[in-house]
Structure 1
Amino acid sequence: MNALSLSFKAVTLSCLLFVSAFSFAADVPQVKVGFAERDITPEIGMEQPGGYGKSFHRSFHDPCKTRAAVFDNGKNVVAVVSLDALFIRRVTVDEIRKRVEAKCKIPANSILLHATHSHSSGPMGMILPGEYDHASEFVQELAYEKSSTGDPAYLETVVDQSVEAICEAYNKRNASLCGAGVGIEEQVAFNRRFFMRNGLTFTHPRPGNPDIVKPAGPVDPEVGVIGVWDEQGQLKGCIVNFVCHATTNPGGISANYIYYVEQVIRGVFGKDAVLVFLAGASGDVTQVDNLSKFQRRPSEESARFVGGRVGAEAVKVLLSMPRGNFETIASKTTMLQIPRRKPTPGHIKEAIEIVKAGPAKSNATDWVFAKETVLLDARLEKEPVADVEVQAVQLGPVVLLTDPAEFFCQLGLDIKEGSPFPITFPVSLANGCVGYVPTKEAFDKNGGGYETRLTGYSNLIITAGPQMVDTAVELSKQLTPDKLPQRPAAPVFKNNPWAYGSLAPQLD
């Protein structure tokens, strides 16, 4: 049999399997799915977010995008949206949801908006325009001139392009086959916090540090994947969930390592496949191996290494997963009111003195965190309590459970352990941003690291993490998982082995 005949038979078999899957449960509507993306690349010269000071983009590496997937089972519609952004503030979430609901009728609370936490993306904050207008001129200068701030024109672009992407995905939705699976990638992500000989926990103590005792937290090597195929068996798009900070910074404006995840997937499945990347609980997990005996990879190589390996694992999962119908599409949300921690009057007084004395009179770290204490004190005047949305989005046998934080990895693992679903994606920095949310243990006498310090960005009470975990798990238990799709059963054996393969040996 020649190669052309084999290829024809393979294509025919693939089409038959696809048709069979579509007609397997005629009484249940086939889920309709659409994907779309839009460009949200910032301009050179705009601020590069991340850290507690100002930095500016000077070059371009690859585009930043907003990417959307819309799932519709005939009863419910949900949108899952990923933005190549450091984070997305609540006011931006509300605006996108409001415009989408008005334009294409997707319910606001059925839209999940996630930021990949790319540190090489556009100016979404940390401080929004006008946020500190209520404060003194001294505080306003610290907020607007000495801190990372959002650009109003860029924020409007992000809103416009996200609405367009979501509504295009909605309009493109059609009958699709879906699958889900989980792979393992263990070589690219590491917990960055370590117990030290002095009894404290350090973040990034640096390779070769003889005072390192052991890691202070876990990693999560699972690569969760949802794949969606059209009637011709072409991959329309996929959702990928992985736990690692997007801090590879390949040089210039960039989606970070997510760019290379996309490149690998498109290299196998075609340039039109849309990647919706969802970062998991990676508040204390990065690509930096503080226990390594070797020099760190250069930034570009690091981005390619992390994204390439995660993308390759996603491809393996996509190639292996059975395809079928995602019958249940649903969304549930709960809004928690979580108080912020307050600095003491003495702490505030000392911080003001340090800030006014200037960075030259103290080390840079002390000055930055003193500035942040002053900003937090002003923020507490308006927002002593944070709105914290926890959302559960069910896509068949998979549940996406969100938090609006740089969530520590252990908290994500706790969510997975409590969820009744066969596959659970914890999704951090979704539907808002409340800064770092560590475990309670990170605040005890053996804790530490800058993630535990009070700032205008990170300041929730120390029980916030467990509260979010418990809420996410409770929401997941209000939903009933679909069964994972399975490949069609093998035909019943009819005592007719393959004629070529059952021949006796021939000696002459």
Structure 2
Amino acid sequence: MSRSLQVRSRLGARRFTACALLALAVVPLGAAVRAGFAERDISPTVGMREAHAVARHVFLTFVDPCRVRAAVFADGDTTVALVSLDALMIPREVVLRARTGIGHVTTLAPSAVVIAATHSHSSGPVGLVMPGQFDAAPADIQRLAYEESSLADPAYLARVEAEIIEAVRLAESRLQPVTLGFGFGEERQVAFNRRQKMKSGRTWSHAGAMNPDIVDYAGPVDPQVGVVGAWDHEGRLVGAIVNFACHATTNPGGVSANWPGAMERTVQGALRTTAPVLFFAGPSGDVTQVDNRSPYVNPTQAEWLAQVGGRIGAEAIKVLLSAPRTTDTPLAARQKLWRIARRVPLPERVAEARAIVDRGKPSAGALTEWTFARETLLLDHIVGIEPDVEVEAQAIQVGPAVFLSSPAELFVAFGLEQKQRSAFPFTFPVSLANGCVGYVATEDAFGPEGGGYETRLTFYSNLDVTAGRQFAEVGLALAAQLRPAPPPERPRLTRPGTPWPHGRVDPQVR
């Protein structure tokens, strides 16, 4: 059996175990856990640029709000915070400043706070180039960075930072005794690997619908919808967390939280609640809602947003309605910081990029070639200043669940492996957390049969080809330092049941 099939098989077995537990029950085992949830608005205004990796689009309409949502858990000994924001990414410097600010207004330690972006492609200007990042560069490189790239808005970054701090402060102030439920749903119809194996033996990203040269998908998907729910002692939902591996690229044409916002509205509508629903994107650097092997016309962007968000939300609802609940949820946090080297573009590649840019930006046709040339020149400059990058991985434990974070758009295979190897019954890999280092592909993707834009050397994506393996192993090593709590179960019967009197009767034909 292939490794990918082994992973899917074991995940399927684990899903069966989780589903077998899905029965409404409260199991008060240990010390009472407390939880608090809060949200703040971070919607960009019409006229702002969206944080898009390629284009410099300006928002002309408002579709739905972007928010930062925070969940704080406390067990008397440890307090942890999980923060999710509707953003393309979260710059490392914003994370560090926000953690410092959180430390000033709460009891939380910086290492116990994870801050992750949902990767909404229809959100505000948080990157990719930071204000002042290229001020020491030559004038032509400054122009490429500040006028031809996606540039963060300093005022918007300051607002996002302030609202992260306030959301965590509010969440901690709302701590109350809760029962927690954990489970997995499954959704197989909205997420597809966007990389295809071609007849040529190479791999392309988005090879095009019904392309006759497509042989197969180049990688797997992760169908699990991970869910954590928190209820007060009167049985009211106070907040939830959802984890799923799929790009938030159902862009509806204006300011929007993208499909994670529709997912939250689906959950809230069905359960008649306004409780915040945090979304954490699983490793999905190679997974989107686009099925390049489908013979059918794609939905409109608005339809896609509703379908993806609705179906993921429906799976979350099923888990929230039926997952057994417990108060025995020990908390813990582990963190590791280290540095990973950047890949350096060859001198001849830099010279070629210089020649392409010097010819001027084309209006169409060769725009892809020009864009990659721009990226090569920006990378060539930044490598000379910062040849390696500080990265962070975290393991945040909430009872039987562990959240394993990385700052990358990791390929989905790494998340599947972490789930398969983790000792926790509920393992939730979290991407684009505590910074952003771009696409991080499997080493196979860089080999002779690899390819696709996720493997190109750019200002956005440039870490050593072993980076994904490092993130996966460090996350697992941090999780191994923790002791999982047992998953909640339904109470068992202590004696046989009594037959129903009107059930133990003989049949009658007439």
- The correspondence of residues 58-457 of structure 1 with structure 2, limited to 5 A, is 58-360=60-362, 363-457=366-460
Residue 459 of structure 1 and its aligned partner are, at CA, apart by: 0.1
| Distance in structure 1 (CA, Å) of the matches to 2:507 and 2:447 | 74
Distance 1:209 1:505, change over 3 A: closer
Residue 224 of structure 1 and its aligned partner are, at CA, apart by: 0.4
Distance 1:366 1:176, change over 3 A: same
Does structure 1 residue 484 correspond to structure 2 residue 487?
yes
| Distance in structure 2 (CA, Å) of the matches to 1:53 and 1:61 | 19
| Distance in structure 2 (CA, Å) of the matches to 1:310 and 1:352 | 45
* Deviation sequence 1:148-173 (CA, Å, 0-9, x none): 01001111110111111111010101
Could you tell me whether the CA contact under 8 Å between 2:31 and 2:328 is conserved in 1?
Answer: no
Specify the alignment match of 2:16 in structure 1: none
**Residue identity matched to 1:133:** D
| Distance in structure 2 (CA, Å) of the matches to 1:349 and 1:188 | 42
**Residue identity matched to 1:291:** R
Could you tell me whether the CA contact under 8 Å between 2:54 and 2:150 is conserved in 1?
Answer: yes
Could you tell me whether the CA contact under 8 Å between 1:326 and 1:397 is conserved in 2?
Answer: no
* Deviation sequence 1:329-352 (CA, Å, 0-9, x none): 011011121000000111111111
| Distance in structure 1 (CA, Å) of the matches to 2:291 and 2:473 | 31
| Distance in structure 2 (CA, Å) of the matches to 1:187 and 1:173 | 37
**Residue identity matched to 2:455:** T
Could you tell me whether the CA contact under 8 Å between 1:234 and 1:269 is conserved in 2?
Answer: no
**Residue identity matched to 1:446:** E
Match of 2:326, SS state, is: coil
Match of 1:178, SS state, is: strand
Q: Which moved further from structure 2: 361-370 or 200-209?
A: 361-370
Could you tell me whether the CA contact under 8 Å between 2:72 and 2:175 is conserved in 1?
Answer: yes
| Distance in structure 1 (CA, Å) of the matches to 2:140 and 2:507 | 93
Could you tell me whether the CA contact under 8 Å between 2:394 and 2:404 is conserved in 1?
Answer: yes
Identity %: 48
Residue 501 of structure 1 and its aligned partner are, at CA, apart by: 3.5
| Distance in structure 1 (CA, Å) of the matches to 2:429 and 2:250 | 22
Residue 498 of structure 1 and its aligned partner are, at CA, apart by: 3.1
Cα RMSD (Å) of the superposition? 1.5
Specify the alignment match of 1:52 in structure 2: 54
Residue 489 of structure 1 and its aligned partner are, at CA, apart by: 2.0
Specify the alignment match of 1:10 in structure 2: none
Specify the alignment match of 1:464 in structure 2: 467
* Deviation sequence 1:110-152 (CA, Å, 0-9, x none): 0000000000000000111111112111111110100001001
Could you tell me whether the CA contact under 8 Å between 1:183 and 1:314 is conserved in 2?
Answer: yes
**Residue identity matched to 1:75:** D
Could you tell me whether the CA contact under 8 Å between 2:237 and 2:273 is conserved in 1?
Answer: no
How many matched pairs? 486
Question: Which TM-score applies when normalising by structure 1?
Answer: 0.93
| Distance in structure 2 (CA, Å) of the matches to 1:356 and 1:477 | 52
| Distance in structure 2 (CA, Å) of the matches to 1:77 and 1:129 | 34
Gaps of 5+ in 1: 1-16
| Distance in structure 2 (CA, Å) of the matches to 1:441 and 1:391 | 25
* Deviation sequence 1:484-503 (CA, Å, 0-9, x none): 11122234236x43344445
Residue 208 of structure 1 and its aligned partner are, at CA, apart by: 1.2
* Deviation sequence 1:183-218 (CA, Å, 0-9, x none): 110000000001111221100001111111111110
Structure number with greater Rg is 1
Match of 1:294, SS state, is: coil
Could you tell me whether the CA contact under 8 Å between 2:35 and 2:74 is conserved in 1?
Answer: yes
Residue 274 of structure 1 and its aligned partner are, at CA, apart by: 0.9
| Distance in structure 2 (CA, Å) of the matches to 1:254 and 1:263 | 13
| Distance in structure 2 (CA, Å) of the matches to 1:187 and 1:506 | 47
Match of 2:325, SS state, is: coil
Question: Which TM-score applies when normalising by structure 2?
Answer: 0.93
Could you tell me whether the CA contact under 8 Å between 1:89 and 1:433 is conserved in 2?
Answer: yes
Residue 505 of structure 1 and its aligned partner are, at CA, apart by: 6.2
